[in-house]
Structure 1
Amino acid sequence: MSASYIPKNVYAICTFQTDAAPRKFIDTRSEISVFYSKGSRTLLTIEDKNIDKEFPCKSPKNAMWSFLAFGAGLLLGAALLALGPIGWLIVGIVAATSIGFGIYHATQISHKCTGSLNSGNWKIEHQTVRFNKQNAITQNSMLVCDAGGILSPIFSQSIAEKYAARIDALNNKEIWTNGIASFFGGAGAVLAFGEAAGAWGVTKVALWMGGTMGAVTVASYGEREVIRSTALSDNEHYQNMNEADRNEIIPGFIKDPTGTTPGDLGSPDIMEIDGKTGWFAKDPDGKLVVFFNGKQYIKDIKGNYTELKQGSQLANDLKKIENVDPREMYKNAEAKQIVENIRQGKYSESLVKSSIDGNNVVRPRDLIKVMPDLKAIKIQNIKNLGKLTVKGGGLIAFVFPFVATWFSEQSRMELANAMAEDMNNGIAVVSG
């Protein structure tokens, strides 16, 4: 396929950009003597690896939100547990470190391109034509950035702007997806380790996290492989892209640990370890449960929510008699109705246990003893619902890495589509 050579200031779009504006390729090589159109525009080679203005890059932006969300999740998890000073100190240090990393990556969002592009390489360059002793690049060429993105030249401003906007939208969806997963990962990690009983409980959580990390890595590799082998079969640029930027099963954080983000951690959220639904525990029906018992989970949600409502109703009822003399309580119609409600089981046992005497009898004069317990029970119910929400959210967020991978792959396809749509544009100087 004949393709135009690339002069300076041709538009550039990138699979990692997080704004809707294209940039322009510029010359950076030391020796320049080959131009297009009477010396006004340099014809670019594989040594020209920069753009006129940096893209806001997906890589540090994703790390920023992942670390900030993870830190927030850690603090939420700690708030839902009755942690002592040492526990809060440990979680606080880890959360502060995570948030600190997030703030650092925030400073890198608009400063990532130049160094990463210079460390990158042009692919699908012209094999025989050279300008200033360097291989020329064409419309078929792609610049693989060291940060992970792929850039391509686009002549048409309208095409460049259209696909830049699409890629920006996809990348921001991926970033938010990773951020949500990191938030639930942080909160779930604190809950899992905090509720773990003894060394074996902690070991189970660590094994679960390591196992899910490996499983997600392998499954994401398979997802990318399926997408790349089935999508855009008639798009030559996409096939070249897959060849130039091969799918790898070894995750990036193995090659570069400094690029690790909370999203790379396995999620402990769906593993219950409270003795009712944990590893090799048995549910109320006597059935073996390995990781997650949905029936017990729903039952716990309903129980805590019901008790929360009952506690609010009982508190409102008790306010009506709070100024009544306990010795006169047996005469009060509202007090007698509360006692009758208790005897009929309108309230859970934990709400009214303070009103039951040694003979297991509810007496009106003892109703006032219930008041101090209601606030503590309400707070505990709210915490329990918070824990269940974190675990349920973690179960849903468990699929988010695969959603994020899908968004990432869609960005690559949009770049390939832009290249294909732009092939009828270019300059008069074309390769054979």
Structure 2
Amino acid sequence: MSASYIPKNVYAVCTFQTDGTPRKFVDTRSEISVFYSKGSRTLLTVDDKNIDKEFPCKSPKNAMWSFLAFGAGLLLGAALLALGPVGWLIVGVVAATSIGLGVYHATQISHKCSGSLEKGNWKIEHPTVRFNKKNAITQNSMLICDAGGILSPIFSQSVAEKYAKKIDSLNNKEIWANGIASFFGGAGAVLAFGEAVGVWGVTKVALWMGGTMGAVTVGSYGEKELIRSTALSDNQHYQNMNDVDNNELLPGYLTDPAGSTPGDLGSPDILEVDGKTGWFAKDPEGKLIVFFNGKQYVKNIKGNYTELKQGSQLANDLKKIENVNPREMYKNPDAQQIVKDIRQGKYSDNLVKSSIDGNQVVRPRDLNKVLPDIRTVKLQNVKNLGELTVKGGGLIAFAFPFVATWFSEQARMELANAMAEDMNNGIAVVSG
């Protein structure tokens, strides 16, 4: 099909952009003597690989939020476990490094384009027509950026702006998905290693993390293959895009370690690590489980939440008698009611253990001993609920790398749609 050649200042839309504004392609080749419209606009070639203003790039923005979220997750995990000085030192160093990497990538968001574009290459260029001895580019051409994005020329301003906004929205959703996965990966890693028993327990966690990353890599590769083989079958631009931008099975942390992020880590704390039963752990009922005992998880959530509510209720009841002399407590009707409630099992044993005497009896005069227990138990409940939330969120977060992949593939499809919609636009100079 015939396609227009590309003069300078044609709009550029990128699959990695994180704002809704298209840019414009500019000339960068050293020799320029071929123009359109009386010398006012250079006709571009494969040597022209830059834009008038850099895009805020998805690659460093994704790394920024992933590392910041991972560092925050590490700190949360450490706080929930109440680690000792050595544990806090180790986690603090790793968290500070992660946050530092996030801050560094933040400085690269608006400085990624020029160098990466110059290292990139135009694909689907005109095979025979040359300007200044370099192959011309057309509406079918795509610039593959070294940072991973794909740029395409779009003549219509309205088309370029429409699809730039769609791609911006998809990319920012992808970044949030990776950030959430990284947060639970960080928190889960601290909880898993902190709770692991012995060398084998630590080894299980490490193996689980490695296996998770491998599973995410293979799963994401398969997801991309499925999308690319079934989507937009009638869009030749999309088919060309898949041909020149191959799906890679090797993960980014191997092919580009410096640009890798913790988003594929998952949350290893969903593995039940008891240090007793080899690879397989058992729930309290003796049933073998591989990971994440859902029944016990729900039971623990309910138990901690119930005890937290009971503690608040008992603390409120005790406020009614806080000024009563312990010797006169047995005469006070509020104290009598509290003792009755305790003896009838209204409150858990953890909340009232200090008020029970050697005869396992709760006496009114001992009620003033309960408050320290309540504070301790409520704090532990909050920590337990925090750990359970991380574990439950970590299980859900296993899906987030695949959600991020879906958003990424949708951005590629939107660029192909923009190219198809723009084909009726262009200049009068066309390729055969």
TM-score of the superposed pair, with normalisation by structure 1: 0.98
Q: Are 2:215 and 1:215 aligned? A: yes
User: What is the correspondence of 1:286-365 to structure 2 with a 5 Å cutoff?
Assistant: 286-365=286-365
Q: How many pairs were matched up?
A: 432
Alpha-carbon distance between aligned partners in 2 of 1:199 and 1:336, rounded to the nearest angstrom? 52
Alpha-carbon distance between aligned partners in 2 of 1:117 and 1:166, rounded to the nearest angstrom? 22
Report the counterpart of residue 15 of structure 1 in structure 2.
Answer: 15
| 156-165 or 369-378: bigger deviation | 369-378
| 298-307 or 92-101: bigger deviation | 92-101
The alignment partner of 2:25 has SS state of: strand
Q: Are 2:247 and 1:247 aligned? A: yes
Report the counterpart of residue 119 of structure 2 in structure 1.
Answer: 119
| Contact kept? 1:60, 1:106, Cα under 8 Å | yes
Report the counterpart of residue 284 of structure 1 in structure 2.
Answer: 284
- 1:253-298 deviation digits (Å, cap 9, x = unpaired): 2111100111132431422325799952222333211101111000
| Contact kept? 1:277, 1:289, Cα under 8 Å | no
Task: For structure 2, list consecutive stretches of 5 or more residues without a partner in the other structure.
Answer: none
Task: For structure 1, list consecutive stretches of 5 or more residues without a partner in the other structure.
Answer: none
- 1:32-78 deviation digits (Å, cap 9, x = unpaired): 11111111111111000000000000000000111111111111111
Quick one: structure 1 residues 152 and 254, their matched pair in 2 at CA, closer, same or farther if it must change by over 3 Å?
A: same
The root-mean-square deviation of aligned C-alpha atoms, in Å, is 1.3
The alignment partner of 2:268 has SS state of: coil
| Contact kept? 1:192, 1:273, Cα under 8 Å | yes
Report the counterpart of residue 39 of structure 2 in structure 1.
Answer: 39
The residue type paired with residue 261 of structure 2 is T
Q: 1:252, CA displacement in angstroms?
A: 2.1
Alpha-carbon distance between aligned partners in 2 of 1:57 and 1:324, rounded to the nearest angstrom? 66
Alpha-carbon distance between aligned partners in 2 of 1:347 and 1:370, rounded to the nearest angstrom? 11
Report the counterpart of residue 24 of structure 1 in structure 2.
Answer: 24
| Contact kept? 2:66, 2:262, Cα under 8 Å | yes
Q: Are 2:232 and 1:235 aligned? A: no
Q: 1:198, CA displacement in angstroms?
A: 1.3
The residue type paired with residue 331 of structure 1 is K
| 214-223 or 195-204: bigger deviation | 195-204
| Contact kept? 2:45, 2:136, Cα under 8 Å | yes
The residue type paired with residue 250 of structure 2 is I
- 1:143-189 deviation digits (Å, cap 9, x = unpaired): 00000000000000000000000000000000111111111111111
TM-score of the superposed pair, with normalisation by structure 2: 0.98
Report the counterpart of residue 137 of structure 2 in structure 1.
Answer: 137
Q: 1:89, CA displacement in angstroms?
A: 1.1
The residue type paired with residue 294 of structure 1 is G
| 261-270 or 148-157: bigger deviation | 261-270
User: What is the correspondence of 1:60-71 to structure 2 with a 5 Å cutoff?
Assistant: 60-71=60-71
Q: 1:321, CA displacement in angstroms?
A: 1.4
Alpha-carbon distance between aligned partners in 1 of 2:366 and 2:275, rounded to the nearest angstrom? 35
